Amino acid sequence: KNEVEQSPQNLTAQEGEFITINCSYSVGISALHWLQQHPGGGIVSLFMLSSGKKKHGRLIATINIQEKHSSLHITASHPRDSAVYICAVRIQGAQKLVFGQGTRLTINP
Amino acid sequence: AAGVIQSPRHLIKEKRETATLKCYPIPRHDTVYWYQQGPGQDPQFLISFYEKMQSDKGSIPDRFSAQQFSDYHSELNMSSLELGDSALYFCASSFFELTVNRRGRYEQFFGPGTRLTVL
């Protein structure tokens, strides 16, 4: 079983829909990252969380440390949001990131 | 704002050749991480350096070596290349700082990656 599990693996929605991507982890962590990877391959860091909630534009990320669960929400989704969204955790006592398998999001116009 | 720079962006090599990938961290960042992402795979941690010393090691083959230099840039050296080494290689950098609640902050910023193809 992977230390970091994401769901769903693939998600297709219509423009304007509210999107939720979930991430569960099974280890103690010091931080959780949400990353975005476009087809060209480059990775962009969206959020780093250790507690609570963060918002940036139409993106919202939450984390529940007790339940070992995080969610990434996209409001008013747009075709340019189409990408792979990756949850990655920094395990306690380490600096490296352990990645989930990613969620491929496709937003149709 | 300056970002992490990787070079080259694309590299094609033959089996058994060697390759050197370079990573230039964001100015003031003192830690560099290398990740390997195979086709259809999630990124896997290879190795990291803090202040020019190896700080952590993951699933890096013995054929690979890396170092961090005095200007904090890092190089990943790959020898006896195999077809399975074809992947996207990411470098990330971070800077340790204490947040207002005295917790360490290691937010990693990623470079654009080097796509290595071994023929």
pLDDT by residue (tens digit) across B20-62?
999 999 998 889 999 999 988 889 999 999 889 998 899 899 9
Tell me the β-bridge partners of A98: A89
Q: What is the pLDDT of residues A72-81, one digit of tens each?
A: 999 999 999 9
Query: Residue B103: pLDDT above 60?
Result: no
Whether residues B45 and A98 touch (CB distance < 8 A) is answered with yes
Average pLDDT across chain A, whole number: 93
CA A37 – CA A45 distance, rounded (Å):
9
Whether B49 contacts chain A with CB within 8 A? no
- Report the residue from A35, A41, A95 with minimal CB separation from B56: A95
C-alpha torsion angle, residues B74, A29, A25, B23 (rounded to 10) = -10
- Position A60, amino acid: I
CA A60 – CA A71 distance, rounded (Å):
8
Whether B117 contacts chain A with CB within 8 A? no
Q: What is the pLDDT of residues B62-73, one digit of tens each?
A: 999 999 999 999
Whether A86 contacts chain B with CB within 8 A? yes
